Amino acid sequence: MQDQSDGSASASQPFRVVQWATGNVGTRSLRQIIRHPRLTLAGLYVHSESKAGRDAGELCGLEETGVTATRDIDDIIALDADCVLYMAAKLDLDEVCRLLASGANVVTTRGEFHRPASMDPAMRARVEAACAEGGTSLHSTGSSPGFITETVPLALLSMQRQLNGLSIHEFADCSSRNSPDMLFHVMGFGKTVGDFSEARLTHARTSFGPSLANVAEAVGLPIESLEASGEVATTTRDVEIAAGTVKKGTVGAQRITVAGLRGGKELMRFTATWYCTTEIDQDWELRSNGWRVVIDGDASMTLDLMFPKMSFDVQAQTTPGYTANPAVNAVPYVVEAAPGIRTAFDLPKIVGPMA
């Protein structure tokens, strides 16, 4: 369990960690585990046949580690690792519960576990039972949701004694991202204008709503309901982006808002604005990649956190770290936490030793 005497994770031993999955974020996480002074790579789980049996270092661009990738969860459980960094593209609850019950703590970039009270009751009960059986804890983190919806707002709210409103704005310029399937088919850029599907609004509500609710509860102003809305803007001409062509009159920008209400009035909101071009038919603010947090209180303030401008190649190498690094840094704190689903508000301030 966490040593509360100094509010920091124990440095008495290295923690044995398994990396689960090697997508963009998982590969960055794997690299950081190998380089981390207080973590030891115990194992690697992969989904692809072509990666199985290969050395972990080879899969993330480092020297050989002697740890080979496996596709068998039994191999992972047999390692008796302290923690599994679970970064699967799709949640498999059976896998997560089996890991927890076996005695492996889990840190994940999956968004399903940010707030226990927001989880499906049956799902929550299964996870908590697995944690009790294994004496383990589960923590969900990342950049958004996570860092920008929890860590940053709490730091700013520590300077307030009255809160009238909190708004978080996320901006993402997708023009240099060479991911046609994601941009055109998943996100709907380049398509004719239509209403936001309820599925997308529900996804936004369940992704960002729990973080807003956590922050509201932490400051004693619990929100009573969540609302989600979406809108699009169309291009004023044909635009060429890295992923292909966005035709004139099709979706070139979109924004989704999740709002938390208290007493019938909006208290908190998260707005994500994603765009492929600035040449659109709406007068929207389209800032560079990053975030703006606005606090309306008795000590009102605005904080801009913008990413440096970079080429697509550099961006592709850099941006996975925004999500992977918080998870890697959290490992010692989660290993030493009390069993159960642990939110950012249950753990001490997380800071990892820098390389």
Query: What is the per-residue pLDDT across 137-189, written as a single tens digit (0 to 9) for each?
Result: 999 999 999 999 999 999 999 999 999 999 999 999 999 888 898 899 888 99
pLDDT of residue 12: 63
3 falls in which pLDDT band (50, 70, 90)?
A: very low
- Residues facing residue 85 across a β-bridge: 19, 107
- Res 5 pLDDT > 70: no
Host domain of residue 217: 160-298
* Domain contains 309: no
Spatial distance between the Cα atoms of 329 and 347, rounded to a whole number of angstroms: 12
Whether the CB-CB separation of 71 and 49 falls below 8 Å is answered with yes
Contacts of 12 by beta carbon, 8 Å cutoff, 6+ apart: none
Instruction: Give how many domains the chain has, as a whole number.
Output: 2
- Residues facing residue 191 across a β-bridge: none
Same domain, 119 and 168: no
| 157 to 52, 221, 320: CA distances (angstroms) | 46, 12, 27
Residue 236 tokens, joined: 């004023």
Higher pLDDT, 242 or 16: 16
- Res 99 pLDDT > 70: yes
Q: Is the peptide bond before 145 cis (omega within 30 degrees of 0)?
A: yes
Same domain, 66 and 134: yes
CATH number at residue 99: 3.40.50.720
* Domain contains 303: no
* Domain contains 324: yes
Identity of the residue numbered 37: P
* Domain contains 150: no
Mean pLDDT of the chain: 93
DSSP state of 79: T
Among 160, 124, 165, 163, which Cα is nearest to 265's?
Answer: 165
Among 49, 52, 138, which Cα is nearest to 95's?
Answer: 138
Same domain, 137 and 220: no
Same domain, 178 and 271: yes
Same domain, 176 and 273: yes
* Domain contains 138: yes
Alpha helices of 152-197 — where are they, by DSSP H?
152-157, 180
Identify the burial level of 11 via C-beta atoms within 10 angstroms of its C-beta, where 0-12 means exposed, 13-18 middle and 19 or more buried: exposed
pLDDT of residue 136: 98
Same domain, 180 and 125: no
Same domain, 43 and 75: yes
Same domain, 191 and 283: yes
Among 84, 181, 216, which Cα is nearest to 139's?
Answer: 84
Residue 280 tokens, joined: 């659109």
Spatial distance between the Cα atoms of 339 and 107, rounded to a whole number of angstroms: 13
Same domain, 164 and 123: no
Spatial distance between the Cα atoms of 196 and 251, rounded to a whole number of angstroms: 12
* Domain contains 304: no
At 306 the three-state DSSP class reads strand
47 falls in which pLDDT band (50, 70, 90)?
A: very high
- Res 106 pLDDT > 80: yes
Same domain, 100 and 74: yes
Q: What is the mean pLDDT of residues 293-309?
A: 95
* Domain contains 152: no
* Domain contains 355: no
Beta-carbon-side half-sphere exposure of residue 124 (alpha carbons within 13 Å): 11
Same domain, 103 and 189: no
pLDDT of residue 9: 52
pLDDT of residue 178: 81
Same domain, 164 and 98: no
